[in-house]
Structure 1
Amino acid sequence: MPLLEVTDVNKVFPGVRALDGVTFALQPGEVHALVGENGAGKSTLIKLLTGVYQPDGGELRYRDEPARFATPMDAQRAGISTIYQEVNLVPLMSVAHNLFLGREPRSAFGLVDEKRMVREASEILVRYGVTTDVRRPLGTMALGAQQMVALARAVMVDAKVVIMDEPTSSLEPREVETLFGVIRDLHARGIGIVYVSHRLDELYQICDAVTILRDGKVVHTGRLAELERIRLVSLMLGRDMSAVRREGFTGFAGDHTGAADAPPVLKVTGLSSRHRLHDISFAVRPGEVVGLGGLLGAGRSETIKAIGGAYPVDAGEIEVGGKTLKNPTPVRAVQAGIAVQPEDRKAEGIVAGLSIRENIALAVLPRMARLGLVSDRKIDKIVDTYMTRLRIKASGPDQRVGDLSGGNQQKVLLARLLATQPRVLLLDEPTRGIDVGAKAEVQALIDELAADGLGVVLVSSDAEELVEGADRVVVLRDGAVVGELTGTNVTTEALLETIAAAAVSSEEPHDN
């Protein structure tokens, strides 16, 4: 008997049929993978299961009874918990308050028992590999640690179903292993898990069953072990693997090494910032992709932000095209030809309440304004160009960006950056949380941009993606450069060895 199921469910938005006759069933104690390209309907189905949306047709059953959740809180009370890709907690509140939000322990007088809450929060988080002062604001923690707090919060309730949407996108390998241990424990306790991920290795490691969506329809459901990876990807994309490979599924398509004798388009010298960055130096030539490698917390994102003017710089120099960028700010960086794609696209990138057209136009309005007026025709031409070039799937340029899939939101952000006609593109996790097809398209686009002479700095937590996509990799640890990989040394093994060697070196005792 299924624990949670939907039968012939439909959901329609203006101009878009998001779900078309979808049937899905989750068994007790099953880890069920839900996969598909961005825009396939995964997020919509999850929102129907959790009371965010109501179906336009079909039936939802929970524990063998007809169910209808008017709000997410109704679904949570019934025993359905969700862990979202973007941490959905309150960054200004303490870690402990986030963990117990809405169910704080009370004293005999009905007041919140702060001491007990702090003590229990600390004890709970240790099981998830998080050791911190739980009285600190959640927003001061790394994204990976925040994700583990969200996981702990979801599992703490008396859940019968746990839905995980890209839960490892912000996690280090050690944290991923902790997550998998939690999943195995939930599995043994008979709790059903819906697992959404674009990382195929993860799916085949922990999932029992799989349902594949494409264009709002179920194209396959069954035991995952019986489905070859090539077949899974082909079903997701609706085309054979030869077509996928031609679009760059196996990595970046071409050799985009910058000319060895060309002057750098970006040169960073001795960059230091707030005790987080220490003497960072590297250069990027036109047509070159330079990767920043290292574990979470190594200083990769801080380096990107500092170059882009969004992180205070105490010392060092940034040159773009041979000209020094003085007192860098985001505006000055853009004017100098630097475009930054941040790690967290929702918090720091897109404006979810605005349309695709408005999001892309934000970047070009200052440049195109004449006496305070902007030509709608010129804006429309730019928007149409980038929607076509990046294959943004939407009902049209006036669709709200917040209603798009994660991959299409990422493409809108990239379109806005490219519309500024930058000389240097700083990409922080550009394929985080997007599907195989969209990932291939983004990789191929980066390759194309580099071939056109753009200098690219690439940050990725996926070691294979980093070494496949970069000509050189600058390795960071604790905010400092600890090595650089070039030529045939740009391999996953060399990257991991460099990180490991730096870790051992930092832990060795030093003579006074």
Structure 2
Amino acid sequence: MVAAVPVAEAAGITKRFGSTVALDGARITVEPGQTHALVGRNGAGKSTLVSVLTGLQAPDAGTVTFGGEPAPRLADRDAWRRRVACVYQKSTIIPQLTVAENLFLGRHARGRAGLIDWRTLRTRARDLLRTWSVDVDVRTPAGELDVEQRQFVEIARALSFGARFIILDEPTAQLDAAAISRLFGRIRDLQEQGVTFLFISHHLQEIYEICDTVTVFRDARHILTAPVAGLPRAELVAAMTGDGAAESARGRARAADPSAPAVLAVDGAALAGAYDGVSFTVRAGEIVGLAGAASSGRTELAETVAGLRGADAGTVEVAGVRPRPGSVPAALRAGVGFVPQDRHHQGYVPGMSIADNGTLTIPGQLGRRGFIDRRRRDALAEEMIANLAIKTPGPGLEVSGLSGGNQQKVVMARALASDPRVLVLINPTAGVDVRSKEFLLGKVEETAESGTGVLIASDELDDLRMCDRVLVMFQGRVVAEKTSGWHDHELVAAMEGVDLDV
């Protein structure tokens, strides 16, 4: 019996970005008719592999083939679309255009004088959606579609180019349980019609529900490919976490005082589409982690505490005060310091100096009647620079001129400038070098020892190791609480929604 030719195969793929190795001899083979899962922790190389498989980037080394034939030249986009398509978590549908216009964007039927033949366009769109059982009115503006409908339209558009290999990148992240069930039903139907899928998800229980084969990447390398049915959940998680899976997390050198007063109390908090019924407290001097995948609700919950979002229900109380929901100034007055998820867009103003960025939260300390005393500002900035070990020739340097690690230190300095009662951090060490990472986490522990309560929302294990306890969120709810001394594989399994006892 002749073995089937793989729908897609990547072998020996290496890709570097400067000194960063994004893929190191990675490989994957996707057989026809499968739904093949690709999993791995953040930074494992999944997104880079997708960019190589879809022709957005050329590998530095290695080969890509489709149906046994070499991948097209990068410039031949039509040839790539006939072989592979990716439906991303962030929709590429243009909301201002109708469904029909989105389906055949750039391929409009033309009539006399070169004008668009709208009747033919809509007929072709209806035929396409009917072929792939997508029940959407082609005249509907795409902006009126829900997430599930947009995904089905994007899948139909991909199939219209001729591709029978579809990459689904976190397709369930914004869907409820009923929509996920319908999506999985549609995937199975399309499989029967000869469509092959590469399924990328942080929710490992979905891998066991819909996928035939799973490939694990870790640290830019291929670790494992195995049939899903014969792979115990514990082994899958161990492959993702590596040798550290059997080791306990390093706890804090000094445990929090269990009798200390609560400085943050969240009670019954709910925000539509993000989290529901969340309650917890953080005591003075305690470091509490909020762990979970990107769609778990951890980021939205932390942003609610910081005033970037207002909860639909429930309360947030900071040191006995309930700040106005959705108000950053109110949260700041109540005693919240905040390090946001994206320092480039939320953390600092790149054209402003270190001194101005670091003192944005304390204008009242810089002078009277709204006037800034520059000497006072620069003196405070010098203290911040020394305290955070920011490498700079002086406080007047624009933040854009600093390295990533030093930029993050400026953001941390601003968060600490107001002597907060509660310090909220989201992915505080993302995109910084190892030395800066260790320094920042040490500063967080030092801040907690001074009596500040700390809330760290992250999916990075190194950020969570220092926590006194970690609250694990999954699909908008707190599903587990881990005290210090947890094992990597236990925490990752809880974050991914996997029951290791199954």
When the two structures are superposed, what TM-score results if normalisation uses the length of structure 1? 0.60
Please give the alpha-carbon distance, in whole angstroms, between the structure 1 residues aligned to 2:138 and 2:278. Answer: 32
Residue 67 of structure 1 and its aligned partner are, at CA, apart by 1.6
- Match status 1:209 vs 2:213: yes
CA distance in structure 2 between the aligned counterparts of 1:426 and 1:98, rounded to whole angstroms = 46
- Find out whether 1:336 has 2:334 as its counterpart: yes
Residues of 2 paired with 1:412 and 1:339: CA distance?
18
Q: Is the 8 A contact 1:341 1:426 kept in 2?
A: no
**Preserved contact between residue 289 and residue 470 of structure 1 (Cα < 8 Å):** no
Alignment match, 1:468? 480
CA-CA distance at 1:288 after TM superposition = 10
Residue in 2 that maps onto 1:412: 430
Contact kept? 2:100, 2:138, Cα under 8 Å: no
8 Å CA contact retained: 2:216, 2:224: yes
| Cα pair distance change 1:311/1:190, threshold 3 Å | same
Percent of aligned pairs with the same amino acid: 26
Residue number in structure 1 paired with 2:264: 265
State how far apart, in whole Å, the 2-side matches of 1:335 and 1:302 are. Answer: 20
C-alpha contact (below 8 Å) 1:75/1:81 kept by paired residues = no
Q: Distance in 2 between matches of 1:257 and 1:124?
A: 63
Distance 1:65 1:187 in 2: 22
Residue 389 of structure 2 aligns with an amino acid whose one-letter code is K
Deviation at 1:338, TM superposition (A): 3.6
Residue 141 of structure 2: aligned partner: 135
1:63 pairs with one of 58, 63, 67: 67
Q: 1:322 to 1:142 in 2, by over 3 A?
A: farther
Check 1:67–1:340 CA distance in 2 against 1; reply closer, same or farther (3 A cut). same
How does 1:102-501 map onto structure 2 within 5 Å? 102=105, 106=109, 108=111, 110-111=115-116, 113=118, 116=122, 120=126, 134-135=140-141, 137=143, 150-151=154-155, 153-155=157-159, 157-239=161-243, 241-243=245-247, 246=249, 262=261, 265-266=264-265, 284=281, 286=283, 308-310=306-308, 319-323=317-321, 325=323, 329-338=327-336, 349=342, 351=344, 364=358, 366=360, 371=375, 373=378, 374=381, 377-378=385-386, 381=389, 397=405, 411-412=429-430, 438=460, 444=465, 447-448=467-468, 460-461=474-475, 463=477, 466-469=478-481
Matching residue within 51, 61, 67 for 2:55: 51
Given the superposition, is the C-alpha separation of residues 193 and 13 from structure 1 closer, same or farther in structure 2, using an over 3 Å criterion?
same
1:116 is aligned with what amino acid?
R
Structure 1 residue 40: Cα displacement: 2.0
SS at match of 1:182: helix
Residue 331 of structure 1 deviates from its aligned partner by 4.0
CA 1:417–1:154 in 2, change beyond 3 Å: closer, same or farther?
A: farther
Superposed CA deviations along residues 445-479 of structure 1, whole A, max 9, x for unmatched, are 5x43x69xxxx9x864165xx221499xxxxxxxx
CA contact (8 A) 1:9 1:55 kept: yes
Report the alpha carbon displacement of residue 326 of structure 1 after superposing the two structures with TM.
5.4
Deviation at 1:258, TM superposition (A): 7.5
Q: Distance in 2 between matches of 1:425 and 1:206?
A: 39
Return the letter of the residue paired with 1:320.
V
Q: Give the conservation status (yes or no) of the 8 Å contact 1:325–1:333.
A: yes
RMSD (Å), alpha carbons: 5.7
For residues 82 and 413 of structure 1, the distance between their equivalents in structure 2, rounded to whole angstroms, comes to 26
In structure 2, what residue type is equivalent to 1:65?
A: E
Cα distance in structure 1, aligned partners of 2:33 and 2:153: 23
- Residue 392 (structure 1) aligns with: none
Instruction: Give the deviation of 1:165 after TM superposition.
Output: 1.9
Q: 1:93 aligns with which of 96, 104, 119?
A: 96
Contact 1:350 1:409 in 2 (8 A): no
Distance 1:20 1:365, change over 3 A: farther
- Kept in 2, the 8 Å contact 1:338–1:424? The answer is no
AA matched with 2:475: S
Larger radius of gyration: 2
TM-score (norm 2): 0.61
Query: Residues of 1 paired with 2:312 and 2:206: CA distance?
Result: 41
Distance in 1 separating the partners of 2:128 and 2:440: 41
**SS at 1:185's partner residue?**
helix
Against the structure 1 CA distance between its residues 308 and 128, is the aligned structure 2 distance closer, same or farther, given a 3 Å change threshold?
A: farther
Residue 42 of structure 1: aligned partner: 46
Matched, 1:2 2:6: yes
Unaligned runs of 5+ in 1: 249-254, 384-394, 401-407, 472-491, 493-512
Deviation of residue 73 (structure 1)?
Answer: 3.7
